[in-house]
Amino acid sequence: MKRTITIAVTGLNAIDSPGPGVPVIRALRESKEFDVRIIGLSYETLEPGIYMHDLVDKSYQIPFPKSGQEVLFQRLAYIDSVEDIDLIFPNFDAELFNFIKLAPRLEKELNIKTFLPTVEQFEARHKVNLSEYGKKHGIDVPHSKMIFSTSEIPSIPSEFTYPVVVKGQFYDASIAYNAEQVATYFHKISAKWGLPVIIQQFIYGTEVNLIALGDGKGGTVGMVPMRKTYITDKGKAWAGVALDDDDLLNAGRKLIAATNWRGGLELEYIKSSDDKYYLLEINPRFPAWVYLAVGCGQNLPEQWVKLALGENPTFYDTYSVGKMFIRYSWDMIVDLKEFETISTLGEL
């Protein structure tokens, strides 16, 4: 008999740059061990997951991360008083810091559990620190540096060979082939994501991604490599295929072991023409393509739940190679009353 459990999930924005919430919920709904009741936590009133009533039982709006931890805690305390939440499953980079900091209090005062990276793990893997991170753990990372002003652009050729990648500290990346293009992207990215802007050496090769779950003790609960086979203009995977790549799996396991990674993660690598792997990014949560892992035989969100509950997860050592995911869009028809309810009452 399945155990009944109430899980609050964020990342319900199943849009063209999708959050992982909806596929995480889909995975949890397919759990063989848990009968889940899903509470959706949304930031915006048009996040599609709010209206997916076959997946989400009840939704609540929560304050944006910049509102601070106390405001978030109070809102979660109210939601918990109504819904008696067992677990919180955060899925956004920008909200993670608040949830990581609140985790001990959530467990102590509200008996809500979660399973997230430590603050140290979260901060160390940040884009601006990735170069140092690579050196510390013996991982190949493209050379990068932070710049805070356009006056630093002329010195780029002394450290890099064009093209370079110009990156925002949270999001956005553009390839620049000369100083003028760097300046253009610097202004565009810094206006949106603030400073610093990161300059990273461009590596020619094929981008490959890994989804994984670390048990916090150096063990890898499961891991599936994927190559994007259809990419949107925002660089998001619209289709992908599970790969058979032992070198990539070993690189991922090595990183998780070296860092004692705790929770879900996505590793983005570039495989150079001489078959060397360079780590481009560590995303500290499951990616939006998490359901491919489920399709390949690894229900990583289900094992995440077991870890959060303090139970022993099932460690996966196989998956189906060659399984593909193909994303699609779907127009839901929603009564204005529902939009009105979430907009005015903050819950639906």
Partner 1 sequence: MVTLKKNIAISDSGFVFNPSNGDSFSLNQIGLDMLLQLKDARSEEELKAVILSKYDIDKDTLDSDYYDFLKMLGQFKLLEVS
Closest CA to 117 of 223, 24, 309, 256: 256
Cis previous bond, 196, omega within 30: yes
Q: Does 347 bind partner 1 (CB under 8 A)?
A: no
Judged by beta carbon, residue 143 or residue 253, the one nearer partner 1 is 253
Question: 304 and 222 in contact (C-beta within 8 Å)?
Answer: no
Rounded to a whole number of angstroms, the minimum distance from the CB of residue 205 to partner 1 is 10
124, 183, 243, 258: residue in contact with partner 1 (rule CB under 8 A): 243
Q: Does 241 bind partner 1 (CB under 8 A)?
A: yes
Q: Does 321 bind partner 1 (CB under 8 A)?
A: yes
Binding window for partner 1 (CB under 8 A); candidates: 98-106, 210-218, 237-245, 294-302: 237-245
Rounded to a whole number of angstroms, the minimum distance from the CB of residue 208 to partner 1 is 8
Judged by beta carbon, residue 184 or residue 206, the one nearer partner 1 is 206
Q: Distance between CA 248 and CA 252 in Å, rounded?
A: 6
Binding window for partner 1 (CB under 8 A); candidates: 43-51, 136-144, 240-248, 290-298: 240-248
Residue type at 129?
Answer: N
Residues from 107 through 166 that contact partner 1 (CB under 8 A): none
Q: Distance between CA 325 and CA 322 in Å, rounded?
A: 10
Q: Does 326 bind partner 1 (CB under 8 A)?
A: no
Cα 294-300-304 angle, rounded to 5 deg: 150
Judged by beta carbon, residue 7 or residue 211, the one nearer partner 1 is 211
Which tokens is 36 given?
A: 């889940």
Cβ atoms within 10 Å, residue 244 = 11
Q: Does 244 bind partner 1 (CB under 8 A)?
A: yes
Rounded to a whole number of angstroms, the minimum distance from the CB of residue 230 to partner 1 is 11
Residue with tokens 């991604």, as numbered in its chain: 209
Q: Does 250 bind partner 1 (CB under 8 A)?
A: no
Question: 82 and 98 in contact (C-beta within 8 Å)?
Answer: no
Rounded to a whole number of angstroms, the minimum distance from the CB of residue 44 to partner 1 is 34
Binding window for partner 1 (CB under 8 A); candidates: 90-98, 191-199, 212-220, 243-251: 243-251
Q: Where are the extended beta strands (E) located within the chain?
A: 3-9, 34-42, 58-61, 87-89, 144-147, 164-167, 173-176, 197-201, 205-215, 220-231, 237-242, 262-272, 277-283, 324-326
Q: Distance between CA 265 and CA 239 in Å, rounded?
A: 19
Binding window for partner 1 (CB under 8 A); candidates: 153-161, 174-182, 222-230, 282-290: 222-230
Closest CA to 10 of 69, 74, 64, 68: 64
Q: Does 327 bind partner 1 (CB under 8 A)?
A: no
Q: Distance between CA 238 and CA 324 in Å, rounded?
A: 11
Site string for partner 1, 86-105 (x = CB under 8 A): --------------------
Question: 261 and 193 in contact (C-beta within 8 Å)?
Answer: no
Helix (H, G, I), strand (E, B) or coil at 102: helix
Rounded to a whole number of angstroms, the minimum distance from the CB of residue 271 to partner 1 is 8
Binding window for partner 1 (CB under 8 A); candidates: 102-110, 122-130, 224-232, 308-316: 224-232
Sheet holding 58-61, edge to edge: 58-61, 34-42, 3-9, 87-89
Judged by beta carbon, residue 129 or residue 272, the one nearer partner 1 is 272
4, 81, 155, 229: residue in contact with partner 1 (rule CB under 8 A): 229
Rounded to a whole number of angstroms, the minimum distance from the CB of residue 297 to partner 1 is 15
Site string for partner 1, 258-277 (x = CB under 8 A): -------------x------
108, 151, 322, 328: residue in contact with partner 1 (rule CB under 8 A): 322
- Footprint of partner 1 (CB under 8 A): 206, 208, 226-227, 229, 240-241, 243-245, 271, 321-322
